């Protein structure tokens, strides 16, 4: 599996946001999410938010600067 590191373009950030919400894969989450200080925003506890400079946690100072390379493209549609 290949990885890409930030910085990301606005279009890539938008694709990462779609992956986080897609339900196709488990979303990226904060490594500190079990500390009792993280909220359940975006459908999971401690979900990370993509930005041009990398993933951020809105509940603590955790940062992540990589994503899977396939996540820079749109996720597949789930069958309903």
The reported pLDDT for the residue numbered 79 is 65
Distance between CA atoms of residues 69 and 49, nearest Å: 17
The reported pLDDT for the residue numbered 39 is 86
With beta carbons less than 8 A apart as the criterion, state whether 42 and 29 touch: no
* 80 residues of the chain, pLDDT tens digit each: 799 999 999 999 999 999 999 988 999 999 999 999 998 877 789 999 999 999 999 999 999 999 999 999 988 876 66
What DSSP assignment string belongs to 2-64? -EEES---HHHHHHHHHHHHHSSSPPPB-TTGGGS----GGGSTTB-EEETTEEE-SSSS-EE
The reported pLDDT for the residue numbered 33 is 95
Residue 67: strand pairing partners: 4
């Amino acid at each position: 599996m290949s990885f890409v590191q930030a910085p990301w373009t606005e279009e890539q950030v938008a694709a990462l946001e779609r992956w986080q919400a897609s339900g196709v894969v488990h979303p990226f989450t904060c490594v500190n999410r079990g500390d009792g200080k993280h909220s359940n925003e975006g459908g999971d506890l401690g979900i990370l938010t993509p930005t041009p400079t990398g993933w951020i946690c809105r509940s603590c100072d955790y940062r992540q600067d990589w994503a899977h390379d396939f996540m820079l493209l749109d996720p597949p549609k789930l069958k309903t």
